Amino acid sequence: MHTSFEEIRDGFQALRFDGTALGLIDQRLLPAEERWLRLTDIDGVITAIADLVVRGAPAIGVAAAYGAVIAARSRGNDLAGWQRDMQRLAQARPTAVNLVWAVERMRAVVSESGCLEPERLAAEALAIHRADIAANLAMARAGSEWIEPGSGVLTHCNTGSLATGGIGTALGIVIEGVRAGRVERVYADETRPWLQGSRLTAWELARAGVDFQVIVEGAAAALMASGAVQWVITGADRIAANGDVANKIGTYALAVLARYHGVQMMVAAPSSTLDPAMASGQGIAIEQRDSAEIWRAAGLEAQPPGFAAWNPVFDLTPAELVDCIVTERGVFRPPYDFSQF
């Protein structure tokens, strides 16, 4: 079973599955080098998710689904061993709800049949991938219609094809807005410390033929004050039932700046990112990563002796700072209530 989609419509495909191995473009090396990794065991998939070879909540979910297939093929009739693999897989990135969601989808298939059936699992993984592509397209169309013609937009982190199974969430809306003539100016926030904006979003925008400019994060307030942007559009790694958003660190700061400057804030994510059991963002675990990442971004190999850093990878944006949330089910406005999703 091969994943084969039309890239013009669906976006660049950063995940490829041939039935036995998962192909991932190593996002850590972009834009300098486009290197593909071929993963043939569950340990490789878990490491790729943990080490940011693949990142972005929807893409992590798709990768996890294919990882479940790979694990099933290697385990044979060892159902208990496969379940242990799924437990480790679900813990690879604690904040991205799509990861656990995908693992539970695959577990449900096994629970229904009572045994490991790799072909059934492969069909489910492909369905998850195809559903994400369709969700991306639906979000791109719905979200772009809310943007006034002639607008400028600022996006944060990376939310395009590299972060999803299709055209993207927030970046899909931006690209669709450009194609529809609604978006005239595009700005990509560099997004430290991994620089997903200046490395990955910029790479995707250039690939899509979209004119854009990269800004350092400290320039966001001045950019908004200049009147050049009317929307901040970001993705999400988890959205609580009340609309609180967990997303890449720096999203909260942009939302506060946007409210002060009269700029609207849009969050785009598939419904699988909604966590109806999480009453508010206060219950969401915020992943802390190695502080050495900050020093590596400055060209240093490791954290210098005597130096210290605080390195949360996500922050929480209160629902009251979000003007609209876009999913494949439509555009939602406050007050938010996703408790029944």
Helix (H) / strand (E) containing 245 = strand 245-248
Query: In degrees to the nearest 10, what's the CA dihedral of 288, 197, 52, 165?
Result: 120
Distance separating alpha carbons of residues 30 and 49, to the nearest angstrom: 16
| Contact assessment for residue 59 and residue 165, using Cβ atoms and an 8 Å cutoff | yes
| Contact assessment for residue 161 and residue 56, using Cβ atoms and an 8 Å cutoff | no
The catalytically annotated residue of 10, 85, 132, 237 is 237
10 catalytically annotated: no
Q: Which residue, among 186, 234, 235, has the nearest Cα to 210 in the 3D structure?
A: 186
Residue pointed to by tokens 């989808």: 105
- 3-class DSSP state of 124: helix
Distance separating alpha carbons of residues 92 and 79, to the nearest angstrom: 20
Within 114-178, strands assigned E span 151-155
Q: What is the CA radius of gyration of the chain?
A: 19
Degrees to nearest 5, angle at CA 10 with 9 and 11? 100
Omega within 30 of 0 (cis) for the link into 305 = no
Any idea which residues carry the catalytic annotation? 237
